[in-house]
A = this chain, B = another copy of it.
Amino acid sequence: MRSLSGRLDLCSINTATLGHKESIAQVIDDVARSGFGGICPWRRDFADYDVAKAARRIRDAGLKVTGYCRSTYLTAVTEREYQENLDGNYRAIDQAATLEAECFVMVVGSLPAGSRDLARARAKVVEGTASLCQYARKAGVRLALEPLHPMYAGDRSCLNTIAQALDIADALEPDAGETPTLGVAVDVYHVWWDPNLERDIARAGALNRLFAFHVCDWLVPTRDFLTDRGMMGDGIIDIRFAREIVERSGYQGLVEVEIFSELNWWQKDAETTLATCSERLQSLC
């Protein structure tokens, strides 16, 4: 297992951690100046900033792009909406290619409004992922299926375990070999509770499908379903144990911090948040 002490070059900041308050140009500069080795931007960061320009700025700053967040949900009420979602994702995959991102992070959606048919939503996710996989392979972009915590199964993601993600990857890309297009993003927030965590991460590693590793913490109590993630060390996840499993299974990428925290960290300035991430990554993760 790698030591992160003095190795911020092995660490990355997901731009959501800073609350999307500053321009992406500013965030790139802040993250690089703080010594981190990588960044993971969101599509919303490019609402008024050119992706190619940002890609150059990121490269010039010496940062890797550990991922690009995130897919439009695949599930939809109508077939037309489903096609529009695919189209949006094709464009985002092109942007991920421009950014030379390690992966395009896929949050797949769940039950369309009015539906209780989880099996159908899951089948639609497989169908959509198949289409995106073909497109992404040609674009040279890897797709990281991100299982979301089961508390999001009603609205945000019907993909809820690493095993489920790997089953999809294996079904769609059975003989992927050394360089699969489909893999998983392991975020400790979503999977820390899973009784099969070690088994399934080992399986992902053996298949070369570990594309991203995200850290933050689970607060007790948690006050909001979406935006009350904790800084590493402030909650109850054994993050170092999770990293040990991931690295033992072959993961050699960066450790990415992704914290949604409306009530705490998003209210602080970027410098404070980045300094705290730096300290916690090196001492606790």
Contact = CB atoms under 8 A, between A and B. Distances in A.
A interface, size bucket: 20 to 34
A177 B220 CA distance: 40
Interface string A142-166: 0000000111011100101101100
A218 B158 CA distance: 14
Given A236-B116, A238-B118, A154 B195 contact: no
Contacts of A222: 151, 154, 225
Interface of A: 111, 115-118, 122, 149-151, 153-155, 158, 160-161, 163-164, 192-195, 218, 220-222, 225, 235-238, 241
The copy count of this chain in the complex is 2
Contacts of A236: 111, 115-116, 154
A163 B161 CA distance: 14
A154 B238 contact: no
B150 A116 contact: no
A232 to B, nearest CB: 11
26 contacts: A111-B236, A116-B236, A116-B237, A116-B238, A116-B241, A117-B238, A118-B192, A118-B193, A150-B151, A150-B194, A151-B151, A151-B222, A153-B192, A154-B193, A154-B218, A154-B220, A154-B235, A154-B236, A155-B220, A155-B221, A160-B193, A160-B195, A164-B195, A221-B225, A222-B225, A225-B225
